[in-house]
Amino acid sequence: MKKLLLKLGRFIKRNFLSKYDLYFYKELLPNYLLGLMFFTFLIMLNELFFLAKYYFEYNVPFNQVMVLLFNLMPFLLSFSIPFAVLPGFLLTMGRLSMDSEVIALKSCGVSAGRIIRPGMTVGVLIAIFAFFFKDNIEMPANMNYLQLKAKIMSQKPAVELMENQFLELGGFKLNFSRMEQEGEWQVLYDIHLIDIAGRRTIEAEKGRIFSDPEDPTHYILKFMNGSISEVNTSLSDQGQKEEHLFISSFKYLAINRFIELPQEFYNKSPDTMSLDELKKDIDERSKGIWETIIVQEKEKERLKKSIDELWKNYQKEITNLKPDQIEAKKNSYKLTEQGLNVNIKQIEQIIDNYKKGLPAFQMMKYHEKFSMPVAAFVFAFICLSFGLFKPRSGRNEGLEISLLIMLFFYGFKVFVDDLVVKQTIPLFGAWIPDFIFLGIGSYMFAKKIRE
């Protein structure tokens, strides 16, 4: 066992931890971190606009905005981790080419495959890390982000107050004639509140609506100088139900009300599910559909075999028959074949209709959990192959090229994902961007090998 470990250690050191490998890793690390920060900031710009809107327009506390940003970071990193490979590897290969180190390695008899090996190793490690990061860190963070966002959006009724309009607030209907700003507070005047479930109405001279910053589902309504009208049901001496209207006045009244949050708070989406959870969700959604499709596929195969058997029998039956008898037999078999083909087309239509009921969006997201991490390896391969051709590549040029590749890849991915969800193309279409870039990298590497 000890000898085996020693051999394994020597193998790893010789092939992955040589002086050249360590030098490559040393050059790659700062470039990759630069690319990671560059793409994270780039992807974050759009989200920062919405976070600023929450703070300035919805009066969301700054600490909640920071919690939102913290839980948003894993989602941003799930994209920037693979995309950061582009500038990281392009800048590294450009640095090696700039000092003619790639040429020196080639002149020493080092193959192109050995030159890019440390980069390919890092590409594989980044892909593996990206997969586990996406499944174990991004998914829970996405759930926290959506839940907090749902809570924040539930605060909007307290912000979007409009005069002479009914406001829905946790089953209450509230109306007021005017609103005035008094210091930091919005004070409502001539308030009318209808509680249909509680069979009561409240009228008040003025009041305010508070939302609990610790629990945005909780609202506190405070009224001054008003009256409550409510209907109470009681039993008479004869055991019959009687309804009585009670009217009472108040000087101060406080009502606690809890509202329901949007569905994002309660239900998980594919972006908040782990790989196992998403697989289980897909199985539950498509179980009956797949069973029907399998039955129909078997029936389709049976009919195709029937057609083959039909013409085999035809060949046996026409032996020793006259030409006119053969023609009649042939026409009879053709009619039978046409009927079977009609049945096959009907079955194919049934299968297509059932496939439209499959959870295509969830299935696309399932493939994305693999295809995006694999993209890190694909980007590494294409950048390393490109670097073998490129004699020089400055920092600005490397960032520009990586940005163009990222925009093309992501735009093409969005286009293909839309086709997959619409079931215009099969599910493996989610892998098309990876395959195309892998093909481009393979072509460039093969071309360099043949030189």
Report CA dihedral (409, 411, 415, 421) to the nearest 10 degrees.
80
Contact yes or no for 39/80 (Cβ under 8 A): yes
Q: What sections of 57-107 are H helices per DSSP?
A: 62-83, 85-98, 101-107
Task: Tell me whether residue 252 is in a domain.
Answer: yes
Model-wide pTM > 0.85 = no
Q: Residue 376: what pLDDT?
A: 93
Rg of the chain on CA atoms, in Å: 34
| Tokens standing for residue 182 | 């008094």
Boundary of a domain, candidates 335, 359, 383: 359
The answer on 423 and 300 residing in a single domain is no
Q: What is the pLDDT of residues 17-62, one digit of tens each?
A: 888 888 889 989 999 999 899 889 888 888 888 888 877 776 677 8
The answer on 232 and 112 residing in a single domain is no
Phi, psi (deg, nearest 5) at residue 245? -95, 125
**Which 3 state secondary structure label does DSSP give 148?**
helix
pLDDT band at 160 (very low <50, low <70, confident <90, very high): low
Q: Residue 132: what pLDDT?
A: 92
> Residue 149: is its pLDDT beyond 50?
yes
β-strand 218-235 against 200-211: which pairing, if any?
A: antiparallel
Number of structural domains in the chain: 3
Which among 48, 56, 49 is positioned nearest to 73, based on CA atoms?
48
Which among 54, 72, 57, 69 is positioned nearest to 151, based on CA atoms?
54
The answer on 132 and 6 residing in a single domain is yes
The answer on 333 and 369 residing in a single domain is no
The answer on 338 and 224 residing in a single domain is no
Task: Tell me whether residue 160 is in a domain.
Answer: no
Contact yes or no for 74/171 (Cβ under 8 A): no
**Which 3 state secondary structure label does DSSP give 237?**
coil
pLDDT band at 128 (very low <50, low <70, confident <90, very high): very high
Q: Residue 328: what pLDDT?
A: 77
pLDDT band at 126 (very low <50, low <70, confident <90, very high): very high
Boundary of a domain, candidates 319, 337, 359: 359
The answer on 6 and 148 residing in a single domain is yes
Q: Residue 393: what pLDDT?
A: 52
**Which 3 state secondary structure label does DSSP give 443?**
helix
Q: What would the mean pLDDT of 436-449 be, rounded to a whole number?
A: 85
Q: What is the pLDDT of residues 329-366, one digit of tens each?
A: 777 778 877 887 888 888 888 777 777 777 888 888 88
The answer on 133 and 33 residing in a single domain is yes
Q: What is the pLDDT of residues 203-260, one digit of tens each?
A: 999 988 877 766 667 778 889 999 988 887 777 667 677 777 888 889 988 888 777 6
Contact yes or no for 118/92 (Cβ under 8 A): no
Q: Which residue has the higher pLDDT, 83 or 389?
A: 83
The rounded percent of the chain whose pLDDT value lies above 90 is 14
* Residue at 127: amino acid letter: A
Q: Which residue has the higher pLDDT, 263 or 31?
A: 31
b/e code 418-439 from CB counts within 10 Å (16+ = b): eebbebeeeeebbbbbbeebbe
Query: Given the structure tokens 């093409």, which residue do they identify?
Result: 412
Sheet arrangement for strand 167-169: 167-169, 172-182, 185-195, 200-211, 218-235, 241-258
Chain centroid, CA 286 distance in Å: 19
Boundary of a domain, candidates 337, 359, 381: 359
The rounded percent of the chain whose pLDDT value lies above 70 is 90
Q: Which residue has the higher pLDDT, 165 or 131?
A: 131
Which among 405, 415, 397 is positioned nearest to 380, based on CA atoms?
405
The answer on 411 and 324 residing in a single domain is no
> Residue 426: is its pLDDT beyond 70?
yes
Task: Tell me whether residue 406 is in a domain.
Answer: yes
Contact yes or no for 258/224 (Cβ under 8 A): no
* Residue at 77: amino acid letter: L
> What residue numbers bound the domain in which 212 lies?
171-258
Q: Residue 124: what pLDDT?
A: 94
Q: Which residue has the higher pLDDT, 234 or 374?
A: 374
Q: Which of 143-152, 178-187, 369-378 has the highest mean pLDDT?
A: 369-378
* Residue at 94: amino acid letter: G
The answer on 337 and 373 residing in a single domain is no
Q: Residue 123: what pLDDT?
A: 93
Task: Tell me whether residue 43 is in a domain.
Answer: yes
The answer on 372 and 350 residing in a single domain is no
Rounded to whole angstroms, the maximal C-alpha distance in the chain is 111
The answer on 353 and 371 residing in a single domain is no
Alpha-carbon span 144 to 138, nearest angstrom: 10
Q: What is the pLDDT of residues 57-89, one digit of tens each?
A: 766 778 888 888 898 899 889 989 999 999 889
Q: Residue 131: what pLDDT?
A: 92
Q: Residue 196: what pLDDT?
A: 80
Q: What is the pLDDT of residues 281-315, one digit of tens each?
A: 888 888 777 778 788 888 888 888 888 887 777 77
pLDDT band at 159 (very low <50, low <70, confident <90, very high): very low
Question: For residue 341, how many C-alpha atoms fall within 13 Å in the half-sphere facing its CB?
Answer: 7
